[in-house]
Amino acid sequence: MTDTRYSYFPGCSLERNAEAYHKSSMAIAGPLGLEFVEIEDWNCCGATEYISLHMLASYAIIARNLAQAARHSPGNSQASAHDLVAPCSACYLNLSKCDKYMRTDADLAEKVNLALAAGGLSYKPGSVHVRHLLDVLVNDVGCSKMKAQVTRPLKGLRVAPYYGCLISRPGLRTDEHDPEYPTSLDDLLACLGAEVVDFPLKTHCCGGHMTQISEGTGFELIRRLVKGAADYHADVIVTVCPMCQLNLDAFQGAMNRYFKTAYHVPVLYFTQMMGLAFGRDAASLGIGAELVDARPALAKIGVEVPPPPEAEGAPKRKRDDKSLPMPKMPKHEAAATREAKP
Amino acid sequence: MKRLDEARVGVYVCHCGSNISATVDVENVAKWAGENLPNVICARDNKFMCSSLGQELIEKDIKEQGLTRVVVAACSPHLHEATFRGACQRAGLNPYLFDMVSIREQVSWVISDRAIATEKAKALISGGVRRVIHNEPLEPILVDINPNVLVVGGGIAGIQAALEIADSGSHVYLVEREPSLGGHMAQFDKTFPTLDCSACILTPKMYSAGNHKNITLLTYSEVEKVDGFIGNFTVKIRQRARKVKIELCTGCGACEEKCPKKVVDDVFEAGLGFRKAIYRPFPQAVPKYPVIDVENCTFFQRGTCKACEKFCPTGAIDFKQEDEIITVNVGNVILATGFDLFDSRRIPQYGYGRLANVFTSLEFERLSNAAGPTGGKVVLRDGVTVPQSVAIVHCAGSRDRNYNKYCSAICCMQSLKFAHLVKERTGARVYNFYIDIRTSAKAYDEFYQHIIEEGILFVRGKVAEVTDAARLSGEEGKLIVQVEDTLVGKQRRIPVDMVILSAGLEPRHDAKEVGKKFGISCSMDGWFIERHPKLDPVATMTDGIFIAGACQGPKDIPAAVSQGAAAAARVQGLISQRQISLEPVRASVDAEKCSGCRICNTMCPFNAIAFLADRQVTEINPALCQGCGTCVSACPAGAITGTHFSNEQIMAQIEGVLMLDLRQMAMA
Amino acid sequence: MAGPVPSVPERLSFLDAVQARTPGESRLLMCIQCGTCGGSCPSGADMQHTPRHIFAMIRADMRDEVLSSNTPWYCVSCYFCTVRCPQDVHITDIMYTLKRMSLVGHSYDSSTAPDFSKMFINWVENYGRAFELGLMSQHMLRHNPLGVFKIADMGIGMVTKGRMAFTPKRIQGIAGLKQIIAKAKELEESHD
Amino acid sequence: MPGNGFEPVIVGFTCNWCSYRAADTAGMARIKYAPNVRLIRLMCSGRLDPQFVLKALAEGADAVFISGCHPGDCHYIEQNYKTMRRYELLKRTLAQLGIEDGRVKLVWASAAEGAILAEEINKMVAEVKALGPLNWKLEARS
């Protein structure tokens, strides 16, 4: 078959802390005959934060992305012409929820379009079909086509499939999907040859931004999941969401210190696992960027991971003086607003 | 049209207390009808037309004002048509010269605007008046009632119904799908609220049903086809081959003992126990004869074994036995087909099927049953460990829009019973997790009080999830029930050894097909619909078909038994009349007009239409005609007329509801 | 109650107000107080009132108590409550509504959570994009300076692994975006 | 368009067993729905003679609503299938007479489906409002 093209919404995380997710997604797309066409000049979906402050504005900025996607579809032989793929679960949820509510709530749709008009845009609800990357890989590509690509089965690697909340719920998905105990990721990993643990916390919550709001609460949520994976002797937690990855990976150390525990469970993206199974080299999949070292685990399947790029990365000076690499707040905001004026 | 001048119409508009008058200006409507509608001699309104006063009003006017037609505008004809026809008859007016207009169900209850409601009421009444002018006097059709009765379903409701009728001297065909009578009740150990042993009270009834001279027992059988109507149904029943000659079988059980093939019993043991390939569901089975489960029998699968045959002392095994189709004629039918248990796997967060020690209510019934797989020992799935703590989860699959919206009615009492049995057998600490405790029937709340005294713990909150993922110390190796204790307003995680899901009741998976066979329909939830929810709970829209027990909605044993008896009483009533009068709504051919084109001949599913080759005309047999009127509207020559729904009547009604002035009013 | 949100009438009970400000059908009226939400909530243990309790308070018109509760701010939007609710109440959406309403009157005493949201959208409104980490570091500096040291190694790690930057990319259409946002806020004000 | 004050008048034909009882059910459930339909009870939708429809339109109805048991649920076994076929023929005739599709509608409703009946009636009323008055009767006169 010819390439299947999808509009692609990377989202802010994939530009920065989750670049590995983006890299690996692109790396596996080719072999599977998929092409992801990034939509033009997209903006942040607002995560769970924007809607906490402004309802209409939050739907408006999300709708702006839908409008962008609808404007230029990647032109496609298949019906998936207006499929918009989001790898980030939060982006996926916001985009599909906005479309759904605009479809079912005429008043909202009207107001959102009034706002869009101010920016010279408009969006007809339902003209874009929002999908999560996992959904596409499971339902459009499927296990058999994936198997064909597997050159390095993940034999003997115990993986805990972790779906998180936002793609499992709240019933926005159009494909067969169980909000409580899904199995699509389990099956996908199984067909890569991995040893999939029946992870009871697979759809439980990583805490989102809770670490920023109530440390104790946030760390507790992270602890539950990491402990759960450890109790099930998982070598790796496999995730489909940058927020989950950030919490479980970047905060694992802090969590350990908080609870005086010593968990060490690396957290990788399912696209990275696919890349590995397809025989890609670890670096090209962004492996090594995780804070909880995945090398010991990956050694089990004979994957050599280059040592983390100490040399490059942040400039040396920063690492000499012990001060923390934090931006200066007030200046920064001022700067931001100043630059903003055209 | 000369009739138009003759007809003297009386119009009666009912307030129905305030049910109608609250939204319809009844006085105004009556006054308007008297002044504007043709042939109306008198038009009155009355608080309750269906009251004796209201009826006498009609009778009086018929006698004194010489009315020849009557129209009552009130509730639905399905409620009170018979009432007012009676009134007309008492006053010497043929009951079919009466017509009823529904201004409650179709007007006052569905329209909020008084003006609009009043106009619609007028329109409908105007239709009724114009129609009634064309009504013809008719005589009801009498049909004999075959005193034999078919009862479908051998659970407690069906058994009760069958016994009541058989004792009254009529013959009953009792059809049961499973190899034995007993239904769900046979699976229980104790019954609430008295806690008497289920078998002890059920077995005698099963026995007398099985040995009653007036009951033909057809177990391991299913109804295939039903023809005919009240008084005279013809029913085809498939009796599946037992592969056992019952005339020879003594029920000694040797075959069962010797059969080498063990299979999990998903039906009677709810998947918790085993049976052989040749089996009786349980020792007290009625009838006592076993059946061979062909799918699992080694002989039928591999062609060798025949152990049962070898060891049968009377040579009763018959591998060649075939299914039998039995045809019976009955006058009435009682459906008591019961319920299916909600499949708890549909609630993944409760872990049933994934977590070994989560049980369903039916599993626990077997677990606690003295004749069950553990001999009544309450133990974990490993078969030995006695639980120290048990959680009972109410409303599993009920009162939940994700599964079934309705309350399954039995779960509260069932759960209280479970709590008692667990406490009694294990001394474990027992929790009940509930939304509301509903113990409203006689002696039920006393039972609840008694259970509280026993020290059972009650947590008000719908269980959120059951997990084996330990989070806190003390949770390792346990099932953790996570719930909000709504009376404390705090989230709690309660570690237990065993969880029992009080799964709800659902309509039988094949209820819809069964309904179709018998010409009755199912509610949105899938239960069979009764004729009237309060006043006619065991009859259906189809004459001669009655329903009893859980097939009509979730029910406990006392309720199911009462309905069984009630349905039986309704049937006996009909039988003792010997005859029933049917609506004289029939089609007839005017031989003069009939061109013999035979278009109508293919129209009748009841074969009431015959073509008389000699006279080259079509004739309709009134005994077979059911009065649907399809042929009437098919006849190109207009040679067929349908009594009580003639073209004249309907055309007139159309004109009536469309009086132009009304339309303008509606627009205004 | 049912159907799409009506434009808000004059005098509103707190219940009406919450429903009117929630997109689609909130079904708040349908709550039967079963506690499935409170039982399912991952951060329920730290909430001052469980969601169920909050709904009861809303019906009791306890406006101030509800809007000063930490409950909505502790919602992690995992949607467990929403999918499990036997009455199909749109709980998560209602939590968002309560956050917004509590900000209007600054009813919620702790500024931690609101500020985090504010900073976040500040990025979005000025750049069109955001990024978790710059934000988190900013936020921690303001609200939990000591916390910064707790996660020092993380901060360094993220930098050395090239996962953290200090400014988000700015989109070209930022002007248009600003106009959209301005218009939306204007419309929303007229709504409030 | 709705809101222009035009309130269509619609004649409805229901069978006695399913859809007339659906109307009863809607009533018992106090479901409020458009008052524009005036129901006429037949024993079976199979009794519906196409000339009833024409009569209704000629007498000033803006539309005709026909309802019976679901296919397979017919109290008379299969007569509603005949209704279905007749309905298709009727629609062609009406098309030739220049009557829009939306003006004559066949809807299945079981005795339990009061809500569905109400919903269908509301839908149809909205559609007919959009179509505007038929005014056949007036034309017939002039």
* B581-630: pLDDT as tens digits: 888 999 999 999 999 999 998 898 888 899 999 999 999 988 788 899 99
Flag whether pLDDT at B196 surpasses 60: yes
Taking an 8 Å cut-off on Cβ atoms, the answer to whether C158 and A17 are in contact is yes
pTM, to two decimals: 0.83
CATH for D10-141? 3.40.50
What percent of chain A has pLDDT above 70? 84
Q: Which residues of A touch B471 (CB under 8 A)?
A: 224, 227
Residues A152 and A295 in one domain: yes
Identify which of B340, B446, B462 has the alpha carbon closest to the alpha carbon of residue B396.
B462
User: D89 touching B, CB under 8 A?
Assistant: no
Q: What is the pLDDT of residue A170?
A: 67
Mean pLDDT (chain A) is: 85
- Number of structural domains (chain A) is 2
What percent of chain B has pLDDT above 90? 88
Q: What is the pLDDT of residue A312?
A: 43
Q: What is the pLDDT of residue D126?
A: 94
Range of the domain at A166: 143-299
Crossing angle of helices C174-191/A106-118, nearest 10°? 140
Tens digit of pLDDT for each residue in B324-367? 999 999 999 999 999 999 999 999 999 999 899 999 999 999 99
- Taking CB atoms and an 8 Å cut-off, how many pairs form between chains A and C? 296
What average pLDDT score do residues B170-179 get?
A: 98
Residues A67 and A211 in one domain: no
Q: Which of C5, C113, C170 sits opposite A108 (nearest CB)?
A: C5
Flag whether pLDDT at B126 surpasses 70: yes
Flag whether pLDDT at A340 surpasses 80: no
Q: For chain D, list the contacting chains (3+ Cβ pairs, <8 Å).
A: B
Flag whether pLDDT at C157 surpasses 80: no
Q: Which of A245-249, A300-304, B60-64, C176-180 has the lowest mean pLDDT?
A: A300-304
What average pLDDT score do residues D89-110 get?
A: 92
Q: Which residues of A touch C181 (CB under 8 A)?
A: 57, 60-61, 115
Q: What is the pLDDT of residue A337?
A: 39
Tens digit of pLDDT for each residue in B509-537? 999 999 989 988 888 899 999 988 888 99
Q: Which of B347, B348, B469 sits opposite A228 (nearest CB)?
A: B469
Q: Between the CA of residue B93 and those of A92, B125, B133, what are the distances in Å?
A: 73, 20, 14
User: A60 touching C, CB under 8 A?
Assistant: yes
Flag whether pLDDT at A317 surpasses 50: no
Domain ranges within chain C, ordered by starting residue: 14-104, 112-191
Closest residue in D to B532 (Cα) is: D25
Identify which of B333, B356, B340, B478 has the alpha carbon closest to the alpha carbon of residue B397.
B340
Q: What is the pLDDT of residue C161?
A: 75
Residues 235-274 of A with CB under 8 A from C: 243, 246, 250-251, 253-254, 257-258
Q: What is the pLDDT of residue C150?
A: 64
Instruction: Choose, out of B346, B401, B467, the residue to mutate when testing the contact with A (most A CBs < 10 Å).
Output: B467
Q: What is the pLDDT of residue C118?
A: 84
Identify which of B643, B647, B642, B640 has the alpha carbon closest to the alpha carbon of residue B597.
B640
Taking an 8 Å cut-off on Cβ atoms, the answer to whether B106 and D112 are in contact is no
What average pLDDT score do residues B568-592 get?
A: 93
Residue D141's pLDDT band (boundaries 50, 70, 90)?
very low
Closest residue in C to A291 (Cα) is: C157
Taking an 8 Å cut-off on Cβ atoms, the answer to whether D35 and B127 are in contact is no
Q: What is the pLDDT of residue C103?
A: 86
C83 min Cα distance to partner chain B (Å): 8
What average pLDDT score do residues A129-143 get?
A: 93
| Residue D25: alpha-carbon gap to chain centroid | 18
Flag whether pLDDT at D123 surpasses 50: yes
Show the tokens assigned to B294: 């062909």
Q: What is the pLDDT of residue C127?
A: 85
| Distance in Å from the first CA to the final CA of chain A | 47
CATH of the domain at A212: 3.40.50.11810
Domain ranges within chain D, ordered by starting residue: 10-141
Residue C170's pLDDT band (boundaries 50, 70, 90)?
confident
Residue B560's pLDDT band (boundaries 50, 70, 90)?
very high
Q: Which of B77, B110, B654 sits opposite D56 (nearest CB)?
A: B654
Tens digit of pLDDT for each residue in A53-81? 888 999 999 999 999 999 877 655 444 44
Residues A156 and A109 in one domain: no
Residues A127 and A150 in one domain: no
A157 domain-assigned: yes
Residue A49's pLDDT band (boundaries 50, 70, 90)?
confident
User: B463 touching C, CB under 8 A?
Assistant: yes
Flag whether pLDDT at B490 surpasses 70: yes
What percent of chain A has pLDDT above 90? 64
Higher pLDDT, A321 or B609: B609
Identify which of B404, B453, B458, B416 has the alpha carbon closest to the alpha carbon of residue B435.
B458
Residues A36 and A115 in one domain: yes
What average pLDDT score do residues C55-82 get?
A: 93
A264 domain-assigned: yes
Q: What is the pLDDT of residue B280?
A: 95
What percent of chain B has pLDDT above 70? 98
Closest residue in C to A327 (Cα) is: C166
Taking an 8 Å cut-off on Cβ atoms, the answer to whether A201 and B348 are in contact is no
Q: Which residues contact B497 (CB under 8 A, 6 or more apart)?
A: B357, B380, B385, B387, B388, B389, B390, B428, B478, B479
Taking an 8 Å cut-off on Cβ atoms, the answer to whether A180 and B348 are in contact is yes
Q: What is the pLDDT of residue D138?
A: 57
Residue C117's pLDDT band (boundaries 50, 70, 90)?
confident
Tens digit of pLDDT for each residue in A283-299? 999 998 899 999 999 99
Q: Which amino acid is at B157?
A: A
Q: Which residues contact A167 (CB under 8 A, 6 or more apart)?
A: A89, A92, A93, A132, A134, A135, A173, A240, A241
Flag whether pLDDT at C9 surpasses 80: no
Residue B294's pLDDT band (boundaries 50, 70, 90)?
very high
Instruction: Choose, out of A177, A231, A233, the residue to mutate when testing the contact with B (most B CBs < 10 Å).
Output: A231
End residue of a domain, out of A93, A111, A133: A133
Mean pLDDT (chain D) is: 89
Closest residue in B to D53 (Cα) is: B654
What average pLDDT score do residues B412-418 get?
A: 97
Q: Which residues contact B535 (CB under 8 A, 6 or more apart)?
A: none
Mean pLDDT (chain C) is: 83
Q: What is the pLDDT of residue D73?
A: 81
Q: Which of B349, B469, B471 sits opposite A180 (nearest CB)?
A: B349
What's the CA gap between B163 and B561, in Å, rounded?
11
What's the CA gap between B345 and C72, in Å, rounded?
32
Show the tokens assigned to C154: 């993380």
End residue of a domain, out of A265, A280, A299: A299
Identify which of A90, A74, A67, A104 has the alpha carbon closest to the alpha carbon of residue A3.
A74
Instruction: Choose, out of A16, A65, A290, A341, the residue to mutate when testing the contact with C (most C CBs < 10 Å).
Output: A16
Helices and strands counted in chain A (H then E): 17, 8
| Beta-bridge partners for B385 | none
Q: What is the pLDDT of residue A334?
A: 39
CATH for C14-104? 1.10.1060.10
Write down all domains in chain B, each with its CATH number in brackets.
2-138+658-667 (3.40.50), 141-234+329-337+541-582 (3.50.50.60), 241-322 (3.30.70), 340-506 (3.50.50.60), 587-642 (3.30.70.20)
Residue C122's pLDDT band (boundaries 50, 70, 90)?
confident
Q: Which residues of C touch B401 (CB under 8 A)?
A: 86-88
Taking an 8 Å cut-off on Cβ atoms, the answer to whether B349 and A181 are in contact is yes
Q: Which residues of B touch C53 (CB under 8 A)?
A: 489
Q: Which of B349, B400, B461 sits opposite C35 (nearest CB)?
A: B461
Q: What is the pLDDT of residue A79?
A: 44
Q: What is the pLDDT of residue B19?
A: 95
Cβ of A296: how many Cβ atoms within 10 Å? 11
Flag whether pLDDT at A331 surpasses 80: no
Show the tokens assigned to B56: 């006498």
Instruction: Choose, out of C40, C69, C85, the residue to mutate when testing the contact with B (most B CBs < 10 Å).
Output: C40
Q: What is the pLDDT of residue D53?
A: 95
A305 domain-assigned: no
User: B464 touching C, CB under 8 A?
Assistant: yes
Closest residue in C to A13 (Cα) is: C131
| CA neighbours closer than 13 Å in the CB half-sphere of residue D103 | 27
- Taking CB atoms and an 8 Å cut-off, how many pairs form between chains B and C? 67
β-pairing, B190-191 with B196-197? Answer: antiparallel
Taking an 8 Å cut-off on Cβ atoms, the answer to whether B102 and D23 are in contact is yes
Tens digit of pLDDT for each residue in B369-389? 999 999 999 999 999 999 999
DSSP one-letter string for B7-70 = --EEEEEE-TTTTTTTTS-HHHHHHHHHHHSTTEEEEEEES-TTSHHHHHHHHHHHHHH--SEE
Closest residue in A to C4 (Cα) is: A105
Let me know if D39 is exposed, middle or buried by CB neighbors in 10 A (0-12, 13-18, 19+).
Answer: buried
Q: Which of B404-418, B544-558, C177-191 has the lowest mean pLDDT?
A: C177-191
Residue C105's pLDDT band (boundaries 50, 70, 90)?
confident
Looking at chain A, how many residues does it have?
342
Q: Which residues of B touch A227 (CB under 8 A)?
A: 471
Q: What is the pLDDT of residue B324?
A: 97
CATH of the domain at A112: 1.20.1050.140
Are B308 and B255 within 8 A, CB to CB? yes
Taking an 8 Å cut-off on Cβ atoms, the answer to whether D17 and B541 are in contact is yes
End residue of a domain, out of A85, A108, A133: A133
Q: What is the pLDDT of residue C43?
A: 92
Q: What is the pLDDT of residue B6?
A: 83
Taking an 8 Å cut-off on Cβ atoms, the answer to whether D28 and B627 are in contact is no
D30 min Cα distance to partner chain B (Å): 5
Taking an 8 Å cut-off on Cβ atoms, the answer to whether C127 and A324 are in contact is no
Residue A82's pLDDT band (boundaries 50, 70, 90)?
confident
Tens digit of pLDDT for each residue in D16-33? 999 999 999 999 999 999
Q: What is the pLDDT of residue B667?
A: 47
